[in-house]
Structures are given as C-alpha cells and as structure tokens.
C-alpha cells in the first residue's frame, strides 16, 4: 500500500471547486493519460488511464466512483478500481479530497500489483507522486 | 600418449595419470562457445511455449478467456489448468510430498505462479499471445510475513487441502529439549539472538527450460531438460504423466549452473511435455531471467531465535533454537524425506557441547515455493550461520576474542568419530590445525593491532572468523530417500580393447568438472590416462540410475561408486593377467598401472594390454567372461563431513556504511583432493556466492506479496568488483569410510563464508555497540544498525 499526501491551491470559490471535483467527467481527464469511457451512474464512470513507467507503458481500465461525500465539510472519497489488459496488473486507490478556502488536500492510498509493482515501491511512489502533482496543478485551473 | 593431450593442457598443470592438478577436459568446448545447452536444442517442426504467470500473490481465478490468444495466427494451442484437470495433470507432487499446481485452477498463491501455457510457431508469437489471454482475478489478502502466517485467523493459503484452517506445514524437533533446558538453567551465561537468513536465489547463469519430443508412433518421449537429477526426473515424469518409464528418455545436456535451482520439476517442463503430446510436435520452453528469479527454487528464508549457554570462562554448554521456516505457497523443498528441515540440526557446528535442541516450524506464505537451494547442503548453511553468529554474540558478551572462544570449544582431533548432540556422527577432523593455519595465513595478531590503530583514527575495520562443519554425500539408504527413491548412485565402466574407457555416471555436472575428476578417479585406480577416459552423464538411456548432483553429493557418492567400479575392473584384470602371464591371480601384485608377478616385476601386463587380451582369443578360467566391463551401485555407510576455517577482513565506511571485503582467507578440508585446481575453483565460486548472500542478495516482497526482485537490476549478485583476491589453502583429513577418502567440496564455501563476513561486519561495528546485523548487509541496513535501528529484512 502506497500512501501519499498532496496539498493544492486554487483561486476558485470553494463551492465551485467542490462541484468540479464531484464531476468525474471533468475530473478524470485532469489525470495525465486519463479519459472517461462512459458515465455509468450519477457518481461513477468507466475510465482508462495510460501510464508510462520508465520504458514500460501500461493501460489500466476500470471504474472511478464517489463513495463518500460530505457537502458541508467538503470532503469526498473517490474509489478507483482498475486492471491492466489481460488482468496482468491492478491499480486500486482510495483518494480523499478535503477542500478549504483557497485549496485543499488530496490523500491517496494506492494498491498496485503486476508489472508496475515489480519495479519496486520507489519507482511506484515517484511515478504516482508525479502524476498527482501534475493533477493537483490542473485542479487549480478546474 | 602425451601427444594426444588436448592443446589446452598447460605445462605444469598437465597430469596424465591419477589425482592432481589438471585442466578441465570439458573447458575446451565451453571456452570456445561449443557447449550444448537445452536452448541450443533445435528439432524439425519444433514449436515454442510461453508461460502466463500470476500478477498477484493471492487471488481467486474468476475466469480465463483464451479465445483471443487462440485466434492469433501463429498460435497452436493454449493450455489452462482446466485443460490439465481433464487429464488429471493439473496438480503435481512436490519433492516434499506436498502438491503444486502445474497450472492454477482455483486460486493463484504467489506472484509469478503459472496460469496458462501458450504454444506457438516461435517464442515471440507465444509471448505476444500471452497478452491476449484475459484472466479475471478476485484479490485475496496476501500472507507475506512468516510470523503473521502462523497467527490464528491468518488467511488460509492452502484451502485446496480439505479441512485446513491454518498455514502450518510441519513442526519438527531434534536434540534433547529437557537436557538443553537444564543446561540453560544452570549456565552462568546465556545469550539470545534473533536472526534471519533471508530469502535468496541461486540465479544460475542458464535459466530453466525443457524441450519435449513425443513420438506418436513409438510412444517414446524424449525430454531435454535443465536438470541436476535426470534419472529422478524420469521417474517423476513417469509417475506424473502415466507414460511407461522405459519410454521416457531424459537428457540433461550441458547445464549452465544449478546450485539446487534445477532439482525440482517445474510446471514449464510438464507443460512442454503435455504440449508435445497434444500437438504431436516438439515443444521447447525456456523461462526468462525474471521468471527464474520470481518462480523457481529459492534458498533459505529461516527466521531463527537462537540461544547459547556457557560457563563464565567461555565453555559452551548448550544451544537451543526455534525456527520458523518460510516454504512459500507449496512445500517443494527438495531434501531427504525424513528431514523436513534438511540437515539444519547440524547447528551444533564444530563445537563439543553438552546439550542441544531445535524446533523448526514450516509455514506456507504467498511466495514462490522451494527453500533448499543455493548450495546450502540441505540447510547446513542455515545451521552454520546460526551457530557461528551465536558464538560471536557470546564472545561479544563475554568480551572474549572470538578465536580464543572457538579454540576452547572446537571438537578435538582425538574425539573423532564424534557423535554430536543431535545424532550425527562426524567422520574425521582436526579442527584446531585448520583454524591455526587460517589464522597464520591471515596474520591474525597483526590484524588485531592494525584494527586497534585504525579505530583510534575513527576507521571501522572488522575481522571475522568462522568455522564450519558440513554433512554431505546423502546418503545411506536406510536413512535417506527422496519420494521413496534411495539416495544411492551408480557407475558403469566399459574398458575398450585398446585400453580406452568410458565411464557412465548417474550424477550430473552443472559446471563442477565431473568429466575431469571422475576420469581422474578411474585413472588413479587403473592407470589409464584421464584423457583416455570419456565420462558420460546426463542421458537416462545411456547411464546407470542414480539421484543426481546436489548437496555436494557427487564425489562422496558417485565418486565412491567410480572408485569401486574401477576396483572391480582391476580385480577382473587380475584374473585375465594371470591367464596371460600363466601365473595364479594371487601371485600377482598391482604396481603403478600393471599387474606384475610378485618378485619378478619384469613379468607383467599393463591395463591396456589386459584390456586387449580380455577381448582376445586367450583362454580364460572356467566361468570368467570376456571383457573387463563392470557396474556398481554405491550406498554410503555415512555422510562425509568436510570442514574449514575462514578469516575475513572488512572495512565499513563510517560515512556511508558501505562494506568492502578487503581480505578473505579460506582454509578448507575436504579430505582427499582429486584435482586441487577444481577444488580451488569450487571454493572461489562459493566464496563469491557468500559475499553476494552476506552483502546484497535478497528476494524482497512488498506488503501485497509482489516480488520486488524479478531482475538482476533489483536482485544484486556480486561481480569481480565486489570480491577480493581469495587466499585459499587447505588441510587434508581423509574420510575413513570413503573409498578414496574424499569428502566433497561443492558447497563448503557458500556455507562457511556468510557468517564469517557478518562476523567481520559486527566486529567492525563494535564501537557502535552493535552485536548483530541481519543479511544482506547493504549500506542502508548497516547504517540502520549503526543508529541502533537494525531490523530483519522483509
């Protein structure tokens, strides 16, 4: 299990950011290589993400769903469940967003298996860290 | 005859007859790149296999969809566990009477486990098609740590076994528990130390593989296979596939290193066989480096809690140890059936003590199966590591020099044969002589003075001493078998009319130099030049039955068979010579390769002359058949007990905690040496293994059971850069019960060097109060120990 914390800042009002985070069709493309394949429910989408790890590139397909949301505290938990083509790897994560005025925090707890995990936790952490940093940068503009 | 010696024979190392330094006969082909390995086998119409492996450590298989792979234009077949189930081949027996899936049916239980097998025109297409197979897994929590695996409520890995509720495989004990407890009760000093001999891997240069060719007309199956035990594998393939054993031929061609990694039967071998039977064409499968590291026979993985009791002046009284052994998902350790912890109970080492006791519990975890590999001498490596670390911990507590402590406790020469407290009978030894020789070569006193000077300067220099006794040459048939096959070996010697000979042996070289040493044994016994003796091995159709090469057993068992079969030939030659010389056999004596008439040495016949006469028209006594050929099977009366004393000097960088092995002195005693150059080579190789194990090698897993050591970028093995110039020497204490007094050398250095290196590292870290560091002693782990935060590896 890899756990990472990232802060982010935004000039948008909190209500606007809150709506943006819960809109998965807007949120998912903010992850580099991520795209929504179809909306499967009010709070869930089918999505895929292409990730490059060194010389390897992998495509994970799965679901992203909002499993908890607290409108008053502006706290939401998104669950990612995905697997690589052929079932040769999994990437699952719980992502907790906590918003405040002017920004917020993202807590990621990810479970990676398969080829990616074999690269070692160091590589997994640095790739994931890079992805989320890039993501939080885009959140600011969302 | 000298002129016929190969051009590679070097002056000064050429020895035509008998024991002594002689360049290896097999090297002519190896250094020219003309060796023939399994992957060199090319057959008409051959197809190629590739293995789909589990990406996770523990999961239920929900579904496997092979349709896209089957639609690949170059794919001939895809085999899954369900297909094998229909043929009752989905599970196969392991060497430890457990079972293991050939291809997973219900669950996957380790990262890298075999799930499906693709057969295609070429290996590239087979690999491509692997990515077209869609497997849906339902993840289960992985059991990674041994101590958690035995806790109540841990997820059950082997739910294929009816009624199973835990991950416990066996509990086994040796020695006298009560006597040992009493010794500890009354001892003035008792030191306890927890230590881990972590999971490592033999990582042979050649990975595992097989080429199977089933002839549908004759019903004969030929399997070229990377195996250290071709005959045992033939029997296993027969039991497994139901094919009659006389229609199976296993050929182990040149083998690029084994170290125990090539003793088990792997699923890939079976899949190649099934693939050839189903497609009617030869099928070859070779694993890649990652597959080898992630899924094949690993080594060690013993978590040990040891205790040593002594008097105040350092007389060791007793040793007690509790072990939890990580066997992975299937108990596939390849060792004599009666000994689930191998020969670990040799942990009393080279010391004379009053009582000893061990308990070993084997457990399942979600890791690859194996355990007995990497030249461990059936877990003597773990036992020697334990005792040698404990003795140093005791020296640390008593503030005694570790050499002095050892000298006070080593078994004395006059005590041999020595029965140790766990029942082994050590055949012969003169331990003090060997230790003193090592100390003298190392210049021990001077090293200690140097250390004192360097410590004043803040430098971290460590001197480690280790002494080991091994038990090799398994083994006596009344005590030892693997899957019901007694551990005996055969030798067949054919002497051709012109005096050239062919020796067939049942053991299998993986680089040990059998083709040379076994020829030298015959040469020593019969006076035929080694170059005139062809050693044949690795083909079950042409060699006598036996259990193969591992556990340093070739020279102790098959070497004995070879000497005895040569003596049979010599005895027969005496009868023939008597007929030739018109004398009575009892009036002849054997003098340097000739039977001569006693008192008249001019009257005699060389073995070559006798060989021709034995096939000639000479009249032989009634009942004596023509020819000199003979065959034998050897059942060793006891194991042999090689030993050695090692001294290691390390420097630890106080700023980076990097360990450098500066010097290493190894004095080995393997009894009679057949070819001292090969002995030296074996020792040098084993010492290099030891540096790898002590400093860098670790098969690591993350919390989810993902194997993190699937490449040589992650699993570090030593190169010439990491090792010093070895200083090797020897003493010779022949084994009293072996026909030529030889004890075996293959694994000595791999067993003896890791504790010596760790002893040296702990000695270097004395200024930091460090008593123990767990292997592998990487800079990070040594640094942690220096900060008082040392912890066993995960």
B692-744 residue pLDDT tens? 999 999 999 988 899 999 999 999 999 999 999 999 999 999 999 999 999 99
Q: What pLDDT does B792 receive?
A: 82
Average pLDDT over residues B498-509: 95
Considering only CA atoms, give the Rg of chain A: 15
- For testing the chain A interface, which of B702, B704, B710 should be mutated: the one with the most A CBs within 10 Å? B702
| Whole-number Å distance between alpha carbons of B573 and B583 | 13
Q: B133 CB near a chain A CB, below 8 Å? A: yes
The single residue listed with the structure tokens 């042999």 is B640
Enumerate the residues of chain B whose CB falls inside 8 A of the CB of residue A112. Answer: 706
Contact A121 B710 (CB under 8 A): no
| Residue B203: predicted pLDDT | 96
Q: Give the A window 4-23 contacts with B, CB below 8 Å.
A: none
Closest chain A C-alpha to B275 CA, distance in angstroms: 22
Per-residue pLDDT, averaged over B596-615, amounts to 96
Residues 6+ apart with CB under 8 A from B228: B252, B255, B258, B260, B262, B263, B508, B510, B548, B549, B550
Cβ separation of A90 and B707 shorter than 8 Å?
no
**CB contacts, 8 Å: B711 with chain A:** 118
pLDDT of amino acid B667: 98
- Please tell me the distance in Å from B705's CA to the nearest CA on chain A: 9
| pLDDT tens over chain A, length 142 residues | 889 999 988 888 888 889 988 999 999 999 999 999 999 999 999 999 998 887 788 899 999 999 999 999 999 999 999 998 878 888 999 999 999 888 899 999 998 888 888 777 788 899 999 999 999 888 877 7
B131–A88 C-beta distance less than 8 A: yes
The confidence band for B8, taking pLDDT boundaries of 50, 70 and 90, is: very low
Each residue of B81-100: pLDDT tens digit? Answer: 999 999 999 999 999 989 99
Indicate the pTM of the whole model. 0.94
Q: Is the pLDDT of residue B308 over 60?
A: yes
- pLDDT at A53 (0 to 100): 81
Nearest to B134 among A87, A111, A118 (CB): A87
What is the tens place of the pLDDT at every residue in B400-445? Answer: 999 999 999 999 999 999 999 999 999 999 999 999 999 999 999 9
**Chain A: residue whose CA lies nearest to B112:** A114
Q: Which of A89, A90, A118 sits opposite B707 (nearest CB)?
A: A118
How far does CA B473 lie from the centroid of its chain? Answer: 11
Helix (H) / strand (E) containing A61: strand A56-70
Given this model, what pLDDT does residue B2 score?
A: 40
pLDDT tens-digit profile of B507-546? 999 999 999 999 999 999 999 999 999 999 999 999 999 9
What is the per-residue pLDDT for B3?
38
Extended beta strands in B295-342, E state: 298-310, 316-326
CATH number at residue A107: 3.30.530.20
Position B12 confidence tier, pLDDT thresholds 50, 70, 90: very low
Distances (CA, A) of A109 to A24, A93, B58: 19, 5, 20
Total residues found in chain B within this entry:
794
pLDDT at B682: 97
Residue A59 contacts residue A84 (beta carbons within 8 Å) = yes
Distance CA B395, CA B765 (A): 14
What is the helix, strand, coil percentage profile of chain B, to 5?
Answer: 30, 25, 45
How far from chain centre, in Å, is Cα B18?
27
Q: What is the share, in percent, of chain B residues with pLDDT greater than 90?
A: 95
Size of interface A-B (CB pairs under 8 A): 53
Residue B332, SS3 per DSSP: coil
Select the residue of A1, A90, A121 nearest B56 (Cβ to Cβ). Answer: A90
Average pLDDT rounded to a whole number, residues B57-80 = 97
Number of domains in chain A: 1
Please give the pLDDT value at position B15: 57
> Does the structure show a pLDDT above 50 at B785?
yes
Residue from A87, A110, A121, A124 to probe the interface with B (highest B Cβ count within 10 Å): A87
Q: How far is A85 from chain B (nearest CA, A)?
A: 7
Chain B contacts of A89, Cβ < 8 Å? 55
Using the beta-carbon criterion (under 8 Å), do B710 and A118 form an inter-chain contact? Answer: yes
The dihedral built from the CA positions of residue A128, A132, A133 and A135, taken in this order, carries a sign that is positive
Q: Cβ separation of A86 and B135 shorter than 8 Å?
A: yes
Q: Do B298 and B373 touch, CB atoms closer than 8 A?
A: yes
Residue A51 sits in which domain range? Answer: 2-139
Distance from CA of B754 to the nearest CA of A (A): 26
Whether B6 has a pLDDT exceeding 50, the answer reads no
Is the Cβ of A59 closer than 8 Å to some Cβ of chain B? no
Q: State whether B55 and A85 contact (CB < 8 Å).
A: no
Q: Do A85 and B131 touch (CB under 8 A)?
A: yes
Which residues of B fall within a CB distance of 8 Å from A85? 131, 134
pLDDT of residue B14: 54
Helix/strand/coil for B731: coil
CB of A84 within 8 Å of a chain B CB? The answer is: yes
């Amino acid at each position: 299990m890899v756990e990472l914390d990232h802060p982010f800042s935004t000039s948008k009002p909190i209500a606007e950011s809150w709506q943006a985070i819960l809109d998965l069709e807007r949120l998912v493309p903010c992850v580099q290589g991520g795209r929504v394949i179809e909306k499967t429910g009010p709070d869930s989408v089918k999505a895929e993400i292409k990730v490059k790890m060194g010389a390897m590139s992998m495509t994970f397909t799965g679901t992203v769903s909002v499993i908890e949301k607290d409108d008053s505290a502006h706290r939401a938990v998104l669950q990612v469940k995905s697997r690589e083509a052929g079932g040769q790897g999994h990437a699952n994560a719980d992502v907790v967003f906590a918003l405040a005025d002017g920004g917020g925090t993202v807590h990621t707890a990810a479970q990676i298996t398969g080829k990616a995990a074999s690269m070692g936790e160091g590589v997994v952490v640095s790739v994931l860290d890079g992805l989320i940093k890039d993501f939080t940068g885009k959140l600011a503009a969302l | 005859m000298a002129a016929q010696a190969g051009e590679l024979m070097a002056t000064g190392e050429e020895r035509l007859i008998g024991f002594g330094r002689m360049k290896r006969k097999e090297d002519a082909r190896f250094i020219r790149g003309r060796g023939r390995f399994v992957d060199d086998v090319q057959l008409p119409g051959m197809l190629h296999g590739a293995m789909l492996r589990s990406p996770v450590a523990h999961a239920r298989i929900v579904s496997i969809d092979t349709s896209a792979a089957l639609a690949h234009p170059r794919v001939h077949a895809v085999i899954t566990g369900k297909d094998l189930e229909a043929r009752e081949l989905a599970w196969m027996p392991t060497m430890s009477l457990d079972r293991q899936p050939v291809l997973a049916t219900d669950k996957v239980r380790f990262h890298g486990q075999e799930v499906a097998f693709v057969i295609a025109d070429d290996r590239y297409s087979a690999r491509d098609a692997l990515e077209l197979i869609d497997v849906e897994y339902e993840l289960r929590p992985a059991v990674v740590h041994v101590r958690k695996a035995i806790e109540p409520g841990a997820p059950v890995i082997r739910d294929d076994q009816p009624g199973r509720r835990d991950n416990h495989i066996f509990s086994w004990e040796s020695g006298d528990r009560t006597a040992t407890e009493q010794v500890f009760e009354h001892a003035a000093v008792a030191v306890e130390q927890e230590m881990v001999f972590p999971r490592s891997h033999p990582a042979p240069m050649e990975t595992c593989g097989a080429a199977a060719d089933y002839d549908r007309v004759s019903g004969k199956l030929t399997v070229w296979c990377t195996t250290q035990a071709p005959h045992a594998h033939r029997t296993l393939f027969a039991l497994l596939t139901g094919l009659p054993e006389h229609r199976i031929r296993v050929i182990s061609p040149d083998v690029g290193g084994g170290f125990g990694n090539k003793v088990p039967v792997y699923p890939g071998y079976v899949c190649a066989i099934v693939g050839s039977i189903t497609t009617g064409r030869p099928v070859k499968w070779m694993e890649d480096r990652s597959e080898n590291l992630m899924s094949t026979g690993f080594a060690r993985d013993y978590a040990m809690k040891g205790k040593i009791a002594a008097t105040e002046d350092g007389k060791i009284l007793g040793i007690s140890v509790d072990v939890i052994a990580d066997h992975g998902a299937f108990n596939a350790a390849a060792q004599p059936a009666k000994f689930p912890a191998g020969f670990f109970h040799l942990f009393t080492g080279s010391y004379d003590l009053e009582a000893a006791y061990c308990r070993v519990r084997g457990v399942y975890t979600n890791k690859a199966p194996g355990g007995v590999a990497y030249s461990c001498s059936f877990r003597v490596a773990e036992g020697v590591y334990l005792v040698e670390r404990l003795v140093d911990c005791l020296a640390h507590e008593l503030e005694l020099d570790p050499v002095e402590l050892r000298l006070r406790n080593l078994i004395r020469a006059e005590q041999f044969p020595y029965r140790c407290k766990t029942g082994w009978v050590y055949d012969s030894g003169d331990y003090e002589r060997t230790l003193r020789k090592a100390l003298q070569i190392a210049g021990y006193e001077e090293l200690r003075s140097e250390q004192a000077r360097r410590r004043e300067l803040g430098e971290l220099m460590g001197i480690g001493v280790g002494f080991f006794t091994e038990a090799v040459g398994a083994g006596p048939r009344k005590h030892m078998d693997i899957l019901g096959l007694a551990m005996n070996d055969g030798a067949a010697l054919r002497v051709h009319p012109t005096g050239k000979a062919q020796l067939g042996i049942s053991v299998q070289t993986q680089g040990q130099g059998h083709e040379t040493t076994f020829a030298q044994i015959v040469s020593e016994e019969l006076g035929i030049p080694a170059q005139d003796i062809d050693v044949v091995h690795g083909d079950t159709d042409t060699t006598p039955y036996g259990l193969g090469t591992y556990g340093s057993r070739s020279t102790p068992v098959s070497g004995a068979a070879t000497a005895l079969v040569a003596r049979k030939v010599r005895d027969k030659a005496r009868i023939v010579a008597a007929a030739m010389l018109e004398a009575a056999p009892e009036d002849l004596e054997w003098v340097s390769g000739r039977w001569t008439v006693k008192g008249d040495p001019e009257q005699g016949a060389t073995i070559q002359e006798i060989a021709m006469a034995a096939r000639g028209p000479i009249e032989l006594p009634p009942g004596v058949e023509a020819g000199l050929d003979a065959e034998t099977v050897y059942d060793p009366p006891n194991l042999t007990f090689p030993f050695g004393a090692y001294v290691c000097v390390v420097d630890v960088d106080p700023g980076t905690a990097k360990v450098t092995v500066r010097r290493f002195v190894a004095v080995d005693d393997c009894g009679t040496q057949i070819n001292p150059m090969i002995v030296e080579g074996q020792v040098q190789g084993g010492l290099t293994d030891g540096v790898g194990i002590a400093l860098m090698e670790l098969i690591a897993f993350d919390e989810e059971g993902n194997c993190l050591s699937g490449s040589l970028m992650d699993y570090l093995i030593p190169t010439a850069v990491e090792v010093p110039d070895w200083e090797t020497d020897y003493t010779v204490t022949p084994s009293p019960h072996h026909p030529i007094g030889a004890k075996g050398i293959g694994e000595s250095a791999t067993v003896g060097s890791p504790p010596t290196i760790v002893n040296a590292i702990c000695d270097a870290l004395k200024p930091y109060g460090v008593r123990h560091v767990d292997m592998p002693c990487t800079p990070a782990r040594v640094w942690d120990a220096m900060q008082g935060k040392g912890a066993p590896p995960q």
